[in-house]
Amino acid sequence: MDYEMMDIKRQINSMIYLNYISYSVLSGCGSCRVPSPKDMEELETLLEELPLDRRPHNIIFTDSLYKRCMPKYQNDIENPYDFSDFRWVTKKSKRVIDIDVMANSIIGCCNLIERLLTFDLQLENPNFMIYMLHKTAVNQGVFIIRHLKIGSMFYNGEDVAEEGDSELHIQISSDNPDIVSQFAVFHAISALVQISNFGQQFFNYSMEELIDQLNILPDLLTTFSEGLEKYSSKELSLIGLHLTEVYKKSGCHLEIIHKFLHKITKELSQRIKSDGKVLRYRDREETASPSTTTNCLNLLSQCAYMFSSKSCYEACHIIYRDILTTWDERSHVFKFRSSNKQTYSIKDLSSIISALFSYTRTITDAEQYERIEKQIVTFTETTLLKSCIFNGQNYPVLQQNKMKLHDALEPEKPWAPVFNKAFEYKLSKNKYYCDADVFRADYVLPACTILLNCINN
């Protein structure tokens, strides 16, 4: 084993940081604008702290994000401090503004600010990066409320403005809004409200417009609870994971959130078979996918720990015992298929790693805790680090040197350092197959959210 737990956490935090900076802040894949005079006053104060040759310039703010983009730079990187060098090509961009992508962008930016404030991430220009992450999160939160909301619900949209048009033209989708995305938005707002309480310089945006949105939550929960059994285990586990973070972060509606988390975990517990398999729906025999199963383990473990719930303790132990039967000690992976070829998406990896982190909080036996911690380290090293599911880093991003990452091969082309959707692992040859392609923000950002929340708790 080459890595220790602290190394694993550092690697994950660093890769996710590069992913968010590359996409949410720098890519230009969305509606962008130059800083206002007020923004420039704030920036000047921060930039004065930096040496002249290390001051970022051509700064932009990305207020909305497209769902799918090509993570390839338009230009050769000549100056790591020039924002314009890190713009992505427009080829294959899908100009859909997905509400779940936007919400998870905000959540990730806020979580990374915490990592910087607690020195879990170390950069050469931390104050500037904290400012950029906060500005990005606030701007995207305001965009959601002002452009993607009808009544009390949030919808996907599409940027239909003509090329070069300076005015925003967002066409909101008439489709029924996804239920999980609604809770992702409340998670995002809660994260913004929590960050605003940190008292940092320039965290001075009035939170009233955002806090008002949290008052919609009780009505949404009431509507959601009617016919809870009709939702899939995937939806219930993801909603539950968002609600646990709202409970921790917002300080609002704690009693009603606790009540509904109890309802969700009770419903999921009733779907766990005696062998530990989780049913996809209550009244069907079809079992849930590995990512949904591990999300259920994650949620039940967190609720067991947060609320000292005996039923959640029992349920998460049953699920883990079944998952453990797929563990292959030789290859250090969970073999969810009998084939020699195992395929993992970024969602799979995030769900598994996060669930194991949460599950360790329910373990009191020292030897068992040590075994699971070793499992986390070896699985993460084998899959997330060595597989090249992360594109690597051809150039330093907004600093003089590259961040210290693992020794995975770098991509041949100048791809931005972001996560790919999935990879294949051939066990017998210990070989990985992962081609860089279109950036799927709808896969990557929700996965990053779950990972950041669990590994840093």
Cα dihedral sign for 143, 144, 149, 152?
A: negative
* Residues 92, 79 contacting (CB under 8 angstroms): no
Distance between CA 415 and CA 18 in Å, rounded? 12
Contact between 255 and 317 under an 8 Å Cβ cutoff? The reply is: no
Number of structural domains (the chain) is: 1
Give a yes or no: residue 176 inside a domain. Answer: yes
pLDDT above 70 as % of the chain: 95
Give 153-198 pLDDT, tens digit per residue: 999 999 888 766 667 888 998 788 899 999 999 999 999 988 877 7
Tell me how many degrees the CA angle 41-45-46 measures, rounded to the nearest 5.
115
Binning the chain into helix, strand and coil, the percentages to the nearest 5 are: 50, 10, 40
Q: CA–CA distance from 217 to each of 257, 403, 418 (Å)?
A: 9, 39, 33
The pLDDT of residue 164: 64
DSSP 15-54: HHHHHHIIIIIIS--S-EEPPPHHHHHHHHHHHTTS-GGG
Contact partners, residue 43, CB within 8 Å, separation at least 6: 35, 59, 131
Residues above pLDDT 90, as percent of the chain: 69
What is the rounded distance in angstroms from the CA atom of residue 296 to the CA atom of residue 301?
A: 8
Residue 285 within any structural domain of the chain: no
Q: Per the domain annotation, does 238 fall within a domain?
A: no
pLDDT for position 195: 85
Give domain status of residue 290, yes or no.
no
How distant, in Å, are the alpha carbons of 244, 344, 452 from that of 351? 15, 11, 11
Asked if residue 269 belongs to a domain, the reply is no
Average pLDDT over residues 121-140: 92
DSSP annotation of 384: I
Q: Is 241 inside any structural domain?
A: no
> How far is the CA of 187 from the CAs of 177, 210, 255, 324, in angstroms?
16, 11, 16, 31
d(CA 215, CA 185): 13
What's the pLDDT at 206? 67
Instruction: For residue range 217-254, list pLDDT tens digits in order.
Output: 888 898 888 889 999 999 999 999 999 999 998 877 89
pLDDT value for 339: 83
d(CA 324, CA 334): 8
Query: What pLDDT does 267 receive?
Result: 96
Helix (H, G, I), strand (E, B) or coil at 118: coil
Other C-beta atoms closer than 10 Å to the C-beta of 33 total 13
Structural domain span for residue 198: 5-210+309-455
Helix (H, G, I), strand (E, B) or coil at 62: strand
Query: Is the whole model's pTM more than 0.85, yes or no?
Result: yes
88 inside domain: yes
What does pLDDT average to over the chain? 91
Domain membership flag for residue 288: no
Tell me the CA distances in angstroms from 91 to 72, 94, 157, 183, one per residue in order: 9, 9, 20, 32
